[in-house]
Amino acid sequence: MIRIDVDMNKCQHYGQCVFEAPEVFQLNADDKLEYVAEAPDEMLADLEAAADVCPMQAILITRA
């Protein structure tokens, strides 16, 4: 499994990650980021891409 951590002190809800990995990241009705904390290994490339595009570099991806 892959663990996803978002530093919500850094996150400004720009939502760039949503485009790379919509299965994990979403903007809710208030334009705030919501995400799931675990994902299968097959999603590693998408999740790294999501971390790459985060303007605040708030997303940490680790292999559990």
Partner 1 sequence: MAGLRTAEGARRAGYTGPIEFLGAEAHAPYNRPPLSKELLQTEGQGHADVAFPIRSALEEGVSWVLGRAAVSLDAERRVVVDDAGDEHPYSALVIATGLRPKPLPIDDHGLGGIHVLRTLDDAVALRSVLRPGANVVILGSGFVGCEIAATAAKNGATVSVVTQSRVPLQRALGSLLGAEMRRRHENHGVRFFTGESLFGLVGDPSVERVILTSGVMLECDVLVVAVGSDPNTEWLASSGLDVSDGVLVDAGLRAIGSDGAVRPDIFAVGDVARYANPLFDDVARRVEHWNLPTETGKRAGQLIAAHLAGDDCEPLAAEGFAPLPSFWSDQYDAHVLAFGMTYLADRSELVAGRVDDECVVEFFRGDDLVGVCGIGMRSAVQAYRTRFAPPAPPSSG
Write out the residues near partner 1 by the rule CB under 8 A. 12-16, 18-19, 27, 31, 45, 48, 52-53, 55-57, 60, 63
- Distance in Å, CB of 35 to partner 1, minimum: 15
Q: Which residues of 12-45 are buried (b: 16+ CB within 10 A; e: fewer)?
A: eeebebbebbeebbeeeeeeebebeeebeeebee
- Distance in Å, CB of 55 to partner 1, minimum: 5
- Distance in Å, CB of 6 to partner 1, minimum: 14
